[in-house]
Amino acid sequence: MEDKLTKFRKLLGEISDLQSTGAVLGWDQQTYMPSGGAEGRAMQLATISRLAHEKFISDEIGMILEDLEPEAEALDYESDEACLVRQVSREYKKQCKVPSSWVAEFSRVTTLAQQAWQKAKAESDFPQFKPHLEEIVKLRRQYAGFFAPFDNVYDPLLDDFEPGMKTAEVKGVFDELRPQQTELVRAIADCGTAVDNSMLYREYPIQKQWDFGVEVIKKLGFDFERGRQDKSAHPFTTSFGLGDVRITTHFDPNYIGRSLYGTVHEAGHAMYEQGIGVSLRRMPIAQGASLGIHESQSRMWENIIGHSHAFCIAFYPRLQEYFPENLGDTDLESFYRAINKVETSLIRILADEATYNLHIMLRFDIELALMEGSLEVAELPEAWNSKMEEYLGLTPPDDGQGVLQDVHWSGGMIGYFTTYALGNLIASMFWEKMKEDIPDIEGQIERAEFSEILGWLRRNIHCHGAKFKPMELIERVTGSSLVSEPYMLYLQTKFGEIYRL
């Protein structure tokens, strides 16, 4: 078995090298590449992803898996080897159903679509993007078809981001949450408590924003020896291996919240990647357990910790030192309330914690309708605007602030948004457990001491990488299946206090 495992690891390591190479090209595309590079880059990425896919679904891997599967079952369930074989086998069976020609075509189409989306968004011109999205939806439906039969055409897409999760489960959770969140948002709107956040929208020089953000995430535990930060239109985190995890941030010279919390969010993702156990290096399980788990990490740092009163005690005096002309006249309490102001907005990434999930439910409804075929891409702007009105009471003035605002669909990532809302729920579940284990957690945050918090996350979540399925990991950590109560309780408590409900 040792020999077979060694060979297995060698093959998987080479595939991982190809994928990391693709990640470098993808990172460059979104940070420094001139627009003239788009077509060449599309070919390069298509070739790399085809090579990686072919190598992965090769007969060689299939044969080794066949030999290893029964032997791995005899191993300790939680051992690296047993988890590796189990997870690779699941992924192998999935990917074998997808032809390499589809993978290359998908990569080519989405690379061009991302370029087109950037331009279409800047010019607020949906028709420019429409043919690209039509191709993507067609390809995505084709993709789902490879996994027929299914309960819902959306299931295979969701499974790519949240292994094991079903559309019906998501619908169930969303149906439970929607009325409660809507009620909370309404109670806040009706309570008559005004919150002023105008101080966040003054002129904040970008270099100083950058410097402050770096200072904060260094304290949180982001390791700059094994990572770096750059700028991009849409913030993201990407990993080229355990020793090189990149984050990007978007800076708005007239709004401090965007970069500050964008940086903390991405650092949350990156610290997850940096915390994966070294024994998993170059293996396909050296990544997050799922996007929902990944978002639970970024959102815990960004929201539960980053938007807490304790966090303001730790960092607000320092922020005032950076920007005395903007914040000198704002006390800590006012700042805390300002960053937690609840206000319905058009833009998902600017949404506060109380309204955020409503943006996700809107996208979930639309994606489902596109996949099920009850909505055409051409009808998308109209469908978007009417849902926006229904859920948040707002109508976008143009498509740039509406249907074109997010990068995801241009990358073919239908099914992805859902994981953001799941991340919120999971973060609250982990947080409850962490509070039990670290009674002095608030005091530690106030003193800007994060080593125990990060240590807890590393031990319980990060080090495992993708050894376990997301729901399995949640059970291990919390002893419970996915529930929405901790999340709603967290929101109700926090905003009840701020808005004196």
Binding positions for Co ion, 44-103, rule CB under 5 A: none
Q: What is the dihedral of CA 481, 485, 491, 496, to 10 degrees?
A: -160
Residue 16 interacting with Co ion (CB under 5 A): no
Nearest distance, CB of residue 12 and Co ion, angstroms:
26
Residue whose CB is less far from Co ion, 300 or 498: 300
How many CB atoms within 10 Å of residue 215? 13
Query: DSSP characters for 255-302?
Result: BHHHHHHHHHHHHHHHHHHHTS-GGGTTSTTSS-S-HHHHHHHHHIII
Two tokens at 455? 């240590």
Task: Put the strands of the sheet holding 237-239 in their side by side order.
Answer: 227-231, 245-249, 237-239
Site string for Co ion, 426-455 (x = CB under 5 A): ------------------------------
Q: Is 467 exposed, middle or buried (0-12, 13-18, 19+ CB in 10 A)?
A: buried
Residues ≥6 apart with Cβ < 8 Å to 400: 121, 122, 123, 124
Nearest distance, CB of residue 296 and Co ion, angstroms:
10
- Of the candidates 365, 413, 395, 375, the residue with the CA atom closest to the CA atom of residue 117: 413
Binding residues with Co ion: total (CB under 5 A): 1
Residues 450 and 220: beta-carbon distance below 8 Å: yes
**Maximum Cα interatomic distance, the chain, rounded to a whole number of Å:** 70
Nearest distance, CB of residue 295 and Co ion, angstroms:
5
Binding positions for Co ion, 281-300, rule CB under 5 A: 298
Nearest distance, CB of residue 236 and Co ion, angstroms:
8
Residue whose CB is less far from Co ion, 104 or 217: 217
What separation in angstroms does the CA of 397 have from each of 74, 312, 347, 418?
Answer: 61, 34, 12, 25
Site string for Co ion, 297-326 (x = CB under 5 A): -x----------------------------
How many CB atoms within 10 Å of residue 24? 14
H or E stretch covering 229: strand 227-231
Residue whose CB is less far from Co ion, 29 or 298: 298
Nearest distance, CB of residue 27 and Co ion, angstroms:
16
Q: What is the dihedral of CA 447, 453, 454, 456, to 10 degrees?
A: 160
Nearest distance, CB of residue 265 and Co ion, angstroms:
6
Residue whose CB is less far from Co ion, 238 or 478: 238
Residue whose CB is less far from Co ion, 135 or 302: 302
Alpha carbon distance 425, 481 (integer Å): 11
The residue sitting closest to Co ion, measured at its beta carbon, is 298
Alpha carbon distance 80, 464 (integer Å): 9
Residue whose CB is less far from Co ion, 290 or 298: 298
Nearest distance, CB of residue 82 and Co ion, angstroms:
30
Two tokens at 21? 């190479």
Residues 271 and 221: beta-carbon distance below 8 Å: yes
Work out the angle at residue 337's Cα, subtended by the Cα atoms of residues 334 and 341, and round it to the nearest 5 degrees. Answer: 135
Residue whose CB is less far from Co ion, 336 or 364: 364
- 205: Cα within 13 Å, side-chain hemisphere: 7
Residue whose CB is less far from Co ion, 298 or 405: 298
Residue whose CB is less far from Co ion, 114 or 298: 298
**Residues assigned a catalytic role:** 266
Residues 293 and 467: beta-carbon distance below 8 Å: no
Nearest distance, CB of residue 175 and Co ion, angstroms:
24
Nearest distance, CB of residue 348 and Co ion, angstroms:
11
Two tokens at 135? 């191709």
Nearest distance, CB of residue 42 and Co ion, angstroms:
25
Q: For residue 4, which amino acid is it?
A: K
Residue whose CB is less far from Co ion, 115 or 237: 237
User: Cα 48 to chain center, whole Å?
Assistant: 24
Please tell me whether residue 237 adopts helix, strand or coil conformation.
strand
Residues that bind Co ion in the complex, under the rule CB under 5 A: 298
